[in-house]
Amino acid sequence: MKKNILLIQPENQKINSFRRKQFNNFVQITMPYLAGFIDEAKYKITLVDEYQQRIPYTRKFDLVAITVNTPNSGHCYKMAEKFQAAGAKVVMGGPHATLLPAEVSEHCDIIVIGEAEATWPQLLEDFYQGKYQTEYRSDAIPELTNLPLPRWDLLHRNPLMKGAVISTRGCPYNCSYCNLKQIYHNWFRTRPVSEVIHEISLMKSRFFVFWDDNFFADKAHAIEVMEQLRPLRKKWAAQVTLADCNNDELLEKASAAGCLYLFVGLESFSPAALRGVNKGMNRVDAYRDIIGKLHRHKIMIQAGIVFGFDEDTPDSFRQTLEGCEALGIDGVTVSLLTPLPRTPVYAQMKREQRLLHEDWSLYNGKTDVVFHPAGMTSEQLYEGYLDFRRRFYSLPSFIRRMRVSGTHPVYNFVMNLGYRLAIKRG
């Protein structure tokens, strides 16, 4: 007899409200990917993305699987209580389960720690046989070969949402505010190019994103992927490191293969701030030359900007805006520095007693400051962050930036307008 399994991509109300004001939202790949491992001869699958759907609390499930990130953790715990009260067993995995397994295990029947390519199929078989363990931990480094196709057909999707694919996993760098090294095995891996291209060829949408942490980290792999991607005539984006963009061959291949824009973590225009968080591979004096190369290859830059580093002052917001406009940066994803559990930044702030609290629901990098900044007050940091977003996405700033960039003006305008409208709705 088939067992009923529910897969949940959760979204707490605070961050859900923030995301709904955004224009560019990509579909989350975790649960469609995990659904690809499930044998439908043994399980009847229901997949819910809370960003788009309501959680079906009134339906009967044997197993409920929830992927838990840090700001969603409290919301997930309450969700688990409801399903457990109705007789379901709850399994939790994801970043927060890997970072703080002792905490998460108190709120579920089964916990998956680390990468799930080997442990998830074993858990599914064990549960079906009625002999599951309470903990499944990834000890060996999974190879990214012969992966199942994500089950997009199970997901209720907004037609504006773009597709997503994984080509690599991991990042060779060690930025002190990033938790990738604590979530994944510390080993950079690539997928077979043929499998990546096959998966992309099946996407109905013309637009998609490489959900890699650093798409250009293995240059030979990236070039092979892009060469084989070109005939598909797709439009795409990827996350890369700025230093890796200082390579005309990579940019030429990307442009020819349909790259619209690259997300690049600039983080700051302060060399001292970058050194302070171990992001020395970003050289501020090289920003102009490398971003100019991106624009010459008709690739827009979506820059990651973080405010709240110890070297930041109230003047950092103005300096950053002027820097972005002078370089013609096409778009920004702005965040508040957030000391996520087990990162070096978290350890430092915990040691210095600078954390305001450990209410994980506020550790989302968008809606709250959760620590005492060094160079300003928490209120100054938050108000400066909001003001930067408003000014960057104003029409005068867009005009100044486009005079420098000149890249994909129609798409650029639509993207900037979407962010501007989102800010006004906020």
* Residue 33 host element (H or E): helix 30-35
Helices 395-405 and 409-425: crossing angle, nearest 10°? 160
User: 16-30 b/e with 16+ CB inside 10 Å = b?
Assistant: eeeeeebebeebbbb
* pLDDT reported for residue 204: 86
pLDDT at 267: 96
- For 100, residues 6+ apart whose C-beta sits below 8 A from its C-beta are 341, 342
Which residue, chain included where needed, has tokens 């000890």? 139
Give pLDDT, residue 157.
63
Are 401 and 329 within 8 A, CB to CB? yes
pLDDT per residue, tens digit, the chain (426 aa), is 899 999 999 987 666 555 554 455 567 899 999 999 999 999 999 999 988 889 999 999 999 999 999 999 999 999 999 999 999 999 999 999 999 999 999 999 999 999 999 999 999 999 999 999 999 999 999 999 999 999 999 987 655 556 899 999 998 888 999 988 899 998 999 999 999 999 999 998 889 999 999 999 999 999 999 999 999 999 999 999 999 999 999 999 999 999 999 999 999 999 999 999 999 889 999 999 999 999 999 999 999 999 999 999 999 999 999 999 999 999 999 999 999 999 999 999 999 999 999 999 999 999 999 999 999 999 999 999 999 999 999 999 999 999 999 999 998 998 888 788 777 665
* Residue-wise burial string across 395-425, b where 16 or more C-beta atoms lie within 10 A, e elsewhere: eebbebbbebbebbeeebeebbebbbebbee
| 3-class state of residue 49 by DSSP | strand
Q: pLDDT value at position 24?
A: 53
Q: Is the dihedral of CA 330, 370, 182, 63 positive or negative?
A: negative
pLDDT value, residue 420: 80
Contact 384, 316 (CB under 8 A): yes
For residue 364, what pLDDT is reported?
93
**Burial classification of residue 289, based on how many CB atoms lie within 10 Å of its CB (0-12 exposed, 13-18 middle, 19 or more buried):** exposed
Which among 304, 288, 270, 300 has a CA at the least distance from the CA of 375? 270
Q: What is the pLDDT of residue 16?
A: 59
Side-chain half-sphere of 24: how many Cα atoms within 13 Å?
Answer: 20
pLDDT of residue 174: 87
Determine the pLDDT at residue 421: 75
Rounded to whole angstroms, the Cα distance separating 53 from 41 reads 26
Closest alpha carbon to 5 in 50, 52, 48: 48
Q: What one-character-per-residue DSSP string does 159-225 give?
A: TT-BEEE--EE--S---TT--HHHHS-S--EE--HHHHHHHHHT-SSSEEEE--S-TTSSHHHHHHH
What domains are there in the chain, each with its CATH number? 3-137 (3.40.50.280), 162-425 (3.80.30.20)
| Gyration radius from the chain CA atoms | 22
Rounded distance between C-alpha atoms, residue 315 and residue 295, angstroms: 28
Q: At 21, phi and psi to the nearest 5?
A: -85, -10
